[in-house]
Amino acid sequence: MVGRMLTALINKRFHKGKAILLLGARQVGKTTLIHAMLKGKEYLFLDGDDPTVRRILESRNTQEIKQLIGNHKVVFVDEAQRIAGIGLTLKIITDQFKDVQLLVSGSSSFDLGQQLSEPLTGRKWEYRLYPISWEEFETHFGYLQAQQQLENRLLYGMYPDVLNYPGEEREILKNLISSYLYRDLLQLNDVRKPEVLEKLVQALALQVGSEVNYNELAGLVGVNKGTVQSYMELLEQGLVIFRLGSFSRNLRNEIKQNRKVYFYDNGLRNAVIGNFTPFELRADKGALWENFLASERVKQLDYKQHHAHRYFWRTKQQQEVDWVEEIDGQLAAWEFKWKAGKNVGSRTFENAYDTRIASVNRENFRDFVLLKQ
């Protein structure tokens, strides 16, 4: 098993009087991580897919819950989004069984979060688990093998099963799309136009790293702008994509309201468009490299709890910076290039914001994705 960066962080929260929530997309390793953390400990495992477990927890009968928990001091509720009103049930356990440590995982962060946000206010530690990060991958496989695998990771991504079963990547990703993107999302959110969601995901995959226009997307998939925005929010809440806003402060000609879209995993993106052509033959090398760097940076910022505001920057004259971060009023900026070469960052940005633009390329990318720069 690849060690996960969240392990140490979550361990520090044990028996501090709050529930521990681990949210993330399907098959990123939530259940595996929690079981590994609890190895050697006595704990009660409650599977939200089990009808008996659902009945008891949905009843919110304190006496039944007490009998279910018994003398266990640690309780792990898996697939919690399957349990109606789970937030109120967890509130009862947290409030009335104060010596019990609750651990809760859910595949659908959007659904689970909506149920939990109010009932567990002030009663939870909440974490997101993503596909394997580059740091986790390199720590497990070693520096040399990780470097040798870089182009494969740009193609097939970092989902645990993709790493665990080399040679079966395409089938694994195909199944992941059919079971998560187009089934769970549709069922859990009453999406009435599944064909629209599928077209939208494909359109976003083809535009990864580019600025997206909601009106153009609406015309492309045949719905109104509001539906496009709603579906994109669904994909974002489900940890399929994330959006990057534009940075603007000083200059009149800066783009102020556009958004870029990235996928949390390159393999998922490539599976959506059905393209696993070897990296050296691809026309979208730049997009794949940019998506990889952006997603790896987001994982690290979240896991290491660096609360940076993230942007891109562009002017109407097409001057641009790929990645801009602001922490406590301090700016840092980077441009992404696969091959090392002359830094062609925008002098306009550097002069306007007194910030040097660094180049991230194949030779030095580790510093960027490991937060060393």
Q: What is the per-residue pLDDT across 339-359, written as a single tens digit (0 to 9) for each?
A: 987 666 688 889 888 999 999
CB atoms within 10 A of CB 40: 5
Rg for the chain (alpha carbons), in Å?
22
Domain 6-128 class in CATH:
alpha beta
Distances (CA, A) of 145 to 134, 142, 280, 357: 12, 6, 19, 30
Rounded mean pLDDT, 264-292: 96
Burial of residue 8, with CB atoms counted within 10 A of its CB: 0-12 exposed, 13-18 middle, 19 or more buried: exposed
Flag whether pLDDT at 98 surpasses 60: yes
- At 306, the amino acid letter reads H
Residue 154: name the closest of 265, 311, 27, 319 by CA.
265
Flag whether pLDDT at 110 surpasses 70: no
**Pair 349, 312: CB distance under 8 Å:** no
Q: What is the pLDDT of residue 64?
A: 92
**Pair 338, 361: CB distance under 8 Å:** yes
Torsion angle of alpha carbons 129, 46, 184, 55, nearest 10°?
-150
Measure the CA–CA gap between 88 and 56, rounded to whole angstroms: 13
Q: pLDDT tens, 26-80?
A: 899 999 999 999 999 999 999 999 999 999 999 988 999 999 999 999 999 999 9
Flag whether pLDDT at 237 surpasses 80: yes
Name the pLDDT band for 197 (thresholds 50, 70, 90): confident
Name the pLDDT band for 253 (thresholds 50, 70, 90): low
Measure the CA–CA gap between 369 and 157, rounded to whole angstroms: 15
Flag whether pLDDT at 182 surpasses 90: no
Q: What is the pLDDT of residue 162?
A: 97
Q: What is the pLDDT of residue 256?
A: 64
**Pair 41, 11: CB distance under 8 Å:** no
Domain segments of the chain as ranges: 6-128, 134-369
Rounded mean pLDDT, 308-323: 89
Higher pLDDT, 261 or 248: 261
Name the pLDDT band for 238 (thresholds 50, 70, 90): confident
Name the pLDDT band for 314 (thresholds 50, 70, 90): confident
